[in-house]
Amino acid sequence: MLSGKVAFVSGGSGAVGGAIVRVLAREGCRVAHSYLNNPEKATQLDRELSSGGAEVRSYPLDVRDGKAAVDLCATVENDLDPIDILVNNAGVAQVMPFALIEEDDWDLVLDVNVKGMFQVTKAFARGMVRRKAGSIINIGSLAGMRMLEVPVHYATAKSAVVGFTLSLAREFGRYGVRVNAVVPGMLEEGVAANIPDKQRDQYTQHCALSRTGRPEEVAELVAFLASDRSGYINAQAICVDGGI
């Protein structure tokens, strides 16, 4: 499905990011991904997939650093070829009530989840625009789409992912570059690992499938949106939530 394509996934060492890297590699994509605080896990993922014949490489990156993102784009394109697929997955969450959120907390969550998405997209999308082809997939959250008991700064940041996606899709459509968002509900791993059992139980009670999701289920949709099979899907925020 993606043979010959080159992808970059930010935050590839996490549960969702790792699943996305695995599925893209399985579909024949050459994959570069970034990490910030977990080089061991990123290296382990590279070795695991490379041993199976895939071409996967990891690189350190703080997504808030625009110059670092530009430099990394040049490095990746030198190592692997021009980027066809960009997955903005890197993010951070904090579980705390509104009254306890300090300005530094707000800045961290908004900077990583929103500014980081902007910086990475600005760096990696330039080549797509020049070549008039490409697919950008932004990873949102149901926290930004539904009235849920979630931290306000995280919900705000993930709401911004949808606005960013819609506006960029309109602007980049004239260049043949598609922009979509994948919006996971509560998953078994990743951010949801810190969710209290009470909230997890409430979610499954209201979920039509009566369960939490798996990172791989998010990754499968990302791979489809990255492929030419989804060539007329643009400016969409698609929920992967089991039916909420």
16-74 per-position pLDDT tens digit: 999 999 999 999 999 999 999 999 999 999 999 999 999 999 999 999 999 999 999 99
How many Cα atoms sit within 13 Å of 117 on the Cβ side? 26
Predicted TM-score (pTM) of this structure = 0.97
Enumerate the active-site residues. Answer: 154
Tell me the C-alpha distance between 63 and 36, whole Å: 9
Share of the chain above pLDDT 70, in %: 100
Tell me the C-alpha distance between 244 and 222, whole Å: 20
Q: What is the DSSP letter of 190?
A: G
How many Cα atoms sit within 13 Å of 167 on the Cβ side? 6
Tokens 């810190």, residue located: 194
CB 88 within 8 A of CB 122: no
Tell me the C-alpha distance between 95 and 151, whole Å: 6
Radius of gyration over alpha carbons of the chain, in Å? 17
Domains of the chain: 6-239 (3.40.50.720)
